[in-house]
Structure 1
């Protein structure tokens, strides 16, 4: 091989590597596209729908507002590390080509409770701090779930639920979600 061809190949390798690094930084710290998998957020979001998720709130540990749709790491009983933030965007891309690489740990849910809130589940509805929530976004008007004791959301946590209450795994089953497990805020659904 002559030097000109080697230089051309190295220039291409450098450009591709730089583009990948820039893309990773954007996806870890700024914005990440992802897809809905499942029916837990119907009728708001649907299986296969694309989402644009902003990530800086995760980096800043921002507390989402009531009603905000968020992406969470459902493994609430394990500590998250910075390696999780690097690995998850990579696996998101790999899963496009290899369905076996897709994990079921990252969920899309709606924030129902914040630190200090007392939540009750009675009469087919959610009550926050003694007030029944008006939730026009839920799929069913009646939730087939009740609980005899209230849930108090601990400091540094949020309580999340799917809009399809009768077909959603959420904080009712895994418990409140630590703020560092809130991976991003859904900004757009396409």
Structure 2
């Protein structure tokens, strides 16, 4: 009888340790997310599943997940960091006056007529100022013509960012690491 009681106690301890470990990992290190919508096409597809890392600070061109509101998380690409001036002209990104290539948009550009990204300056968007505010990010979806992003919702507070992501784990046939 004592042996059976010890075995039960060991199982309970193992389960508690497993649940605590899963809780800590999901809360502080990694969490899964499902892509919902077409705003990141062709980089990401609707219903793909990804792992979000909660470690480190987002950098330019990282794909981030953030709380858009109380019920929705968005997946977008970081374009502007705090203090950056952001402008698009002739379908080219300029940050602080320097032109940047965006190779992750190449597949999109092949399939469209005209500019993928309509020209704008940061102050012409809802951000309403010349630079990305401190403590915020300017984000855009890769599917620029079909993305609700910082051009409409404003700069994203960094404290609303869940983390960065670049690993698709489902569907199995599409497992990949996305290069920024």
TM-score in terms of structure 1 length: 0.69
| Larger mean Cα displacement after TM superposition, 41-50 or 140-149 | 140-149
Residue equivalent to 2:108: 140
RMSD: 2.7
Residue equivalent to 1:89: none
Distance 2:75 2:94 in 1: 21
Residue equivalent to 1:72: 66
Residue equivalent to 2:148: 169
Alignment of 1:15-164 (within 5 A): 15-57=14-56, 62=57, 64-75=58-69, 103=71, 105-138=72-105, 140-141=108-109, 142-143=115-116, 145-147=118-120, 149=123, 151-164=130-143
- Offset at residue 6 of structure 1 (A): 9.0
Secondary structure at the aligned position of 2:137 is classed as strand
Distance 2:153 2:2 in 1: 59
Verify the 8 A CA contact 1:71 1:106 in the aligned structure 2: yes
- Offset at residue 179 of structure 1 (A): 1.3
Which structure's relative contact order is higher, taking Cα pairs within 8 Å and 6+ residues apart?
1
- Offset at residue 172 of structure 1 (A): 0.8
Distance 2:44 2:31 in 1: 17
Secondary structure at the aligned position of 1:140 is classed as helix
Unaligned runs of 5+ in 1: 79-102
Secondary structure at the aligned position of 1:137 is classed as helix
Q: Count residues with an aligned counterpart.
A: 157
Residue equivalent to 2:172: none
Verify the 8 A CA contact 1:140 1:166 in the aligned structure 2: no
Secondary structure at the aligned position of 1:51 is classed as strand
Distance 1:34 1:19 in 2: 21
1:183 aligns with 2:149: no
Secondary structure at the aligned position of 1:47 is classed as coil
Distance 2:4 2:142 in 1: 57
